[in-house]
Amino acid sequence: MDSYFDIKALPNPEIIQSAVVAHLMQQLHKLLPAFDGRIGLAFPAYGQQRTLGGIIRVLGECKDVERLYQQLQGMADVSDYALLTPIEPTPVNITQYARYTRAHAKGNSRLQRLKRRHQAACTWTDELATAIASKYSQPLHLPHVSLNSVSSGQAFILFVRRQVVQEQKRGAFNSYGLSLGNVAVPAF
In a domain, 128, yes or no: no
Give the span between the Cα atoms of 66 and 75, in whole angstroms: 15
Q: Residue 58 falls within a domain, yes or no?
A: yes
Percentage of the residues of the chain whose pLDDT score is greater than 70: 96
d(CA 96, CA 162) in angstroms, rounded, equals 12
- CA dist 177 and 188 (Å) reads 17
Position 68 in a domain: yes
Query: Is 172 among the domain residues?
Result: yes
CATH number of the domain at 80, please.
Answer: 3.30.70.2540
Alpha-helix runs per DSSP H in the chain = 17-31, 62-73, 76-79, 108-120, 126-136
Whole-prediction pTM: 0.83
Catalytic residue set:
29
The pLDDT value recorded for residue 113 is 81
Say if 130 falls within a structural domain.
Answer: no
Q: Which tens digits make up the pLDDT trace of 145-166?
A: 989 887 788 888 899 999 999 8
Question: pLDDT tens across 3-49, in order?
Answer: 999 999 998 888 899 999 999 999 999 999 999 999 999 999 999 88
| 7 domain-assigned | yes
* Total domain count, the chain: 1
Which DSSP string corresponds to 87-135?
PEEPPS----EEEEEEE----HHHHHHHHHHHHHTT---HHHHHHHHHH
For residue 119, the tally of other CB atoms under 10 A from its CB is 10
- Its sign, for the CA torsion 81, 87, 90, 91, is negative
Classify residue 124: in a domain, yes or no. no
Contact (Cβ atoms closer than 8 angstroms) between residue 54 and residue 9: yes
Q: Is it the case that residue 80 has pLDDT exceeding 70?
A: yes
Whether 19 contacts 34, CB under 8 Å: no
* pLDDT higher than 80, residue 68: yes
What's residue 69's pLDDT? Answer: 97
- Predicted confidence at residue 13, as pLDDT, reads 87
Residue-range definition of the domain harbouring residue 32: 3-103+140-186
For residue 89, pLDDT over 80 is answered with yes
Categorize the per-residue pLDDT at 167 as very low, low, confident or very high, splitting at 50, 70 and 90: confident
**Cα–Cα distance measured from residue 44 to residue 59, given in angstroms and rounded to the nearest whole number:** 12
